[in-house]
Chains A and B, each alone.
Chain A
Amino acid sequence: MSLIRAENISFVYSTGTSFEKKALDNVSFEIEKGEFVGIIGHTGSGKSTLIQLLNGLLKPTEGNIFFDEKNIWDEPKKIRNIRFRVGMVFQYPEYQLFEETVYKDIAFGPHNMGLDDDETDKRIHKAAEFVGLREDQLLVSPFELSGGEKRRAAIAGVIAMDPDVLILDEPTAGLDPLGREALLSQIVDYHRVRKNTVLLVSHSMEDIARIADRILVMSHGKKIALDTTENVFSKGDELEKIGLQVPQVTRIMQMLKKKGFNVDTSVLTVEQGFNEILNCLSGV
């Protein structure tokens, strides 16, 4: 039984006006509980629209979305409950901070859920720990934090709602390499500890290759593939056709293979690539 099931969903912006634009075209897929799914696609491929449909911020023009086998738009009045269960971290989430203290800002989601103060407090501390915010940082104004810390605070605000699915839209955009690494490993930890479903939109093939179980490839509003990471990246030519690339190390392997070296082209990380080349050379 799948956790999220999209059935032939299409979405059109500004229907009936001259600005009408089809952002999603007949997309269907299923996502299982506990999966880590990467979503890749060019700018304007419909990724952002897709994830906003999944947590009910947008309503599909056609088709249905099922969460836990229940159509999320069956009861439009209760759509908020879906938003609590499908947590969404937008691009540059630091711009949504508004409270006097980081603590209060993280509490915004849990409060809206109607949780009591004890539970909220517990969740805030846990969420802060997950994203690596110090206890003393909870009591300062979010506007005093550095850019990276602000982003952590904003992500904590979503994690504190303890959603079954966590969707992150380019969480590492604009961070320095160290910040990226730290944030990514925290997301991976979160996924491992909570065993929640995570959907990660990213432009970095390297990041996706390293941490995703499966990858959803989007292009021009259509689903191109939803397959395991190895299978998706083994089709480098097809990805290139829609303006995407495979991770650098995979590309090197594919080039080596073309040159006649007997290497495995499904390699996704630098370590695997290193070992593969070593094996190949010692085999020769």
Chain B
Amino acid sequence: MVREITLGQYLPGKSPIHRMDPRSKILLLITYIVVIFLCKNFVSLLLMSLFSILIILLTGISFLKYLKSLRMIIFVIIITGILNLFYGSGDVLCELWILKITTGGIYNALFVIVRITILMMVSAVLTYTTSPTDLTDGLERLMKPLTIFHVKVHEIALMMTIALRFIPVLLEETDKIMNAQKARGADMESGNVFQRVKALTPVLIPLFVSSFRRANDLAMAMECRCYNGGKNKTRMKVLRFSKIDLAASIISVVIFAAVIFTNTIFQPVI
């Protein structure tokens, strides 16, 4: 049962996007998100959508996977879309009690839906093509300037890595303990909410105990190897800004510039 939940979303591959430096992926994604909200007319929105499709195609991952990434927020998209229908000015198209649907509202709804959809799919590109270790590595490097404000960047990154690393372990453990308690007749599938929460006690307590045991073991093992944090630590895999990153950055900057340019020359619709 638990086995079927996938949290680690990384899908290994050899596409140009996979080979990009996680730092450039993160930075470009942030810029991408900003630019998407700058789109004010259909030309720029279309440009961004085409760019998103290009990125998605470049990853070589089946489009179905991206649609699945939308499954979780499909309701958010629909609800924000509907809400936006009623906010906006322009010609009134139809009137229901105090609710008015205007042309502006339709444009708003359309923009919001397209924006959230491509934003989610392109964010999925980052998690699909970057291994969790690369991702935290990239984040650590990007956050490094914060150390002057005494933010413990390395420790935060280490905690993230460990947490990610142990998710599958804990899931497997949960599965085992659930089975063991079910074998003793624990009933976790019926009853009301309170009964179900109570039925989880025989699973949660052993899980906590073993998590602490694991944490203890891991800390001990790290101590034994004289682990002392980020100072002077060298890396097996050094992050490098390669030609692909350069190419990706140039293409992105050109497209982002084009989007902003079209924004200024065409009439904004929202």
Chain A interface residues toward B at CB < 8 A:
13-14, 17, 52, 55, 57, 80, 83-84, 87-88, 90, 93, 95-98, 108-109, 112-113, 143, 157-158, 161
Contact = CB atoms under 8 A, between A and B. Distances in A.
B112 interface: no
B210 interface: yes
A52 B179 contact: yes
B185 A113 contact: yes
B133 interface: no
B145 interface: no
B156 interface: no
B205 A57 contact: no
Contact of B182 (A83, A95, A143): A83
Contacts of B186: 108, 112
B185 A112 contact: yes
Contacts of A88: 180, 183
Interface residues of B, number: 20
A112 B187 contact: yes
Interface in B181-227: 181-187, 201-202, 205-206, 209-210
Contact of B184 (A17, A95, A143, A158): A158
B179 A90 contact: yes
Given A14-B4, A83-B183, A95-B180, 11 more contacts: A80-B185, A83-B184, A84-B185, A95-B206, A96-B184, A96-B202, A98-B206, A108-B181, A143-B209, A157-B184, A161-B185
B187 A80 contact: yes
A83 B185 contact: yes
B82 interface: no
Given A83-B185, A143-B209, A14 B3 contact: yes
A98 B3 contact: no
Contacts of A83: 182-185
A109 B202 CA distance: 11
A-B interface, 3 closest residue pairs, ranked by CB to CB distance from nearest: A112-B185, A98-B205, A96-B180
A161 B183 CA distance: 10
A112 B184 contact: yes
A90 B206 CA distance: 14
Contacts of A57: 179, 182-183
Contacts of A161: 184-185
Given A13-B3, A95-B206, A98-B206, A90 B183 contact: yes
A93 B180 contact: yes
Nearest to B208: A98
A17 B3 CA distance: 12
